[in-house]
Amino acid sequence: MSENRNQLRELPSVDRLLHHPTLRALRDRCPPVLLKEAVQDAVAERRHRILAGAAPLPAAELAEDGLAEDAARRALARLAANLRPVINATGTLLHTNLGRAPLAETALAAITATARGYSNLELDLESGARGHRHDHVEELLCRLSGAEAAAVVNNNAGAVYLALAALAQGKEGIVSRGELVEIGGAFRVPEVMAASGVRLVEVGATNKTHLRDYEQAIGEHTGLLMKVHTSNYRILGFTAQVSGAELAELGRKRGIPVMEDLGSGMLFDLSDYGLPREPTVAEAVAAGIDVVTFSGDKLLGGPQAGIILGRRALIEKIRKHPMARALRMDKLTLAALEATLRLYLDPARALREVPVLAMLAASGEELRARSESFMARARQLLGDAAGMEVMPAPGTVGGGALPLTELPGFALALSPRACSLDQLAARLRRQTPPVLCRIHEERLLFNLRTVRPDEEDALLDALRLALTTAHE
Ligand SMILES: *Cc1c(COP(=O)(O)O)cnc(C)c1O
């Protein structure tokens, strides 16, 4: 034991190590405070092992070169960003945990151009007078939806909250019991209503709600009729819900605004492209709904945003509500949203260039061919240690959209022999960039629907590294 204590004295000091060439070489890149912590950690780790171990450490473990290498590794790990790109090989297009929609190239360019300098964010260049940030996308949104006016906020949860508060604070909002949605996290229709100061009046039953249920619930305190798209579940079987058009007509007759939370908010009908039907924004507007809200980063494929469309007088009220400032969209999001919406002016271009739409439209055959050529490369690099095969594997939309839709597709499947599936998945998450995949029926599935072709090399590299460490 005293021998161990003697070893403590042999450990180089932190200051001495900081002058080691390996660590001096990092000075340009690594802030001094992180470098010092890294060295302290490396030394502390040796000290701990000396004191805890029965026998002294091998001399090599105390050598300065080795300690400096270890400290450099720790410093570089501290230097890496916490929020970093990952490869999504899950086949789920809109994964809230993975940041939902990847952006189109034109949106990325717009972000960079706007971020680098100043912009006319709230300035009317014609008159030189103050402008509104909403104006940059209002005309586009109206053109794409047929609405009179538009406002944009931070996300759809904010849009719903703000619209409720502006239209019906202190009054009652009537919602069908079949539409009391929970989105995940803290977003639940009853709770958002309560937070915005609207008293929820539930009508109908879980599976059936009729127009007369709304009619009978309308009273002197009614401030709003609300429809919520059941974006992440379906009620099937013996069911009835009131259509947007019927509800809009009832609202018009009784002088009560009608709002619809569409959730995902498609701008054009996907069934034209062989995909399942989602209600479109234009349909809701045409049905006569007064205020429609939806997300920017679900099937729209843009940045995180909440979009509010509808009748001008109501949109004005929403824009003027005191909470509008707290929920306002920032300029980089606005730049990305405008660029994304511009692509929709030509639906064929949107389908090619908005990544979510392009991934959604990829056919099963395309994915099979891509998976097979990827597998051929992987076999060449890795041999057949991992029992590779290409097998049918559906993709999903995710992010609370099209819950019942399975996108036909194929995936590369691995059944590694040297380690468990969980171990390999964990190793893949620790690569640079991290790789996320799915475990299904004793296999690890890599679905290329959500992997960009230019990410394939990095995916292959991550696989190689994760499988080689698996053999150690
Ligand atoms: C996703 C969703 C929301 C929340 O939208 P965010 O943009 O995530 O804030 C609200 N309502 C419905 C119906 C949704 O599907």
CATH number of 171's domain:
3.40.640.10
Ligand 1 pocket check for 229: Cβ under 6 Å? yes
182 lies in the same domain as 229: yes
Total of domains in the chain: 3
The answer to whether 355 touches 99, Cβ cutoff 8 Å, is no
My answer on whether omega of the bond before 355 falls inside 30° of 0, hence cis, is no
**What whole-number distance in Å separates Cα of residue 361 and Cα of residue 271?**
11
318 lies in the same domain as 420: no
All residue ranges of the chain with pLDDT < 50 are 472
297 lies in the same domain as 238: yes
CATH number of 438's domain:
3.90.1150.180
pLDDT reported for residue 470: 57
pLDDT (tens digit, 9 = 90+) per residue, 315-364? Answer: 999 999 999 999 999 999 999 999 999 999 999 999 999 999 999 989 99
The atom of ligand 1 lying closest to the CA of 189 is 11
Residue 65, domain extent: 2-78
My answer on whether omega of the bond before 433 falls inside 30° of 0, hence cis, is yes
405 lies in the same domain as 333: no
Most ligand 1 atoms within 8 A of CB, residue of 154, 183, 193, 261 to mutate: 183
**Half-sphere exposure of residue 471: CA atoms within 13 angstroms, side-chain side:** 8
Identify which of 423, 394, 420, 418 has the alpha carbon closest to the alpha carbon of residue 406: 394
pLDDT reported for residue 269: 85
299 lies in the same domain as 347: yes
pLDDT (tens digit, 9 = 90+) per residue, 274-330? Answer: 777 778 999 999 999 999 999 999 999 999 999 999 999 999 999 999 999 999 999
334 lies in the same domain as 365: no
Q: Rounded to an integer, what is the distance from CA 228 to the centroid of its chain?
A: 21
- Residue 100 falls within a domain, yes or no? no
Cα 185 to ligand 1 centre (Å): 10
3-state secondary structure of 133: coil
Task: Quote the radius of gyration of the chain (alpha carbons, Å).
Answer: 28
Residue type, 366: E
The answer to whether 302 touches 341, Cβ cutoff 8 Å, is yes
**Two tokens at 82?**
């916490």
pTM over 0.85: yes
**What whole-number distance in Å separates Cα of residue 234 and Cα of residue 230?**
6
Residue type, 85: P
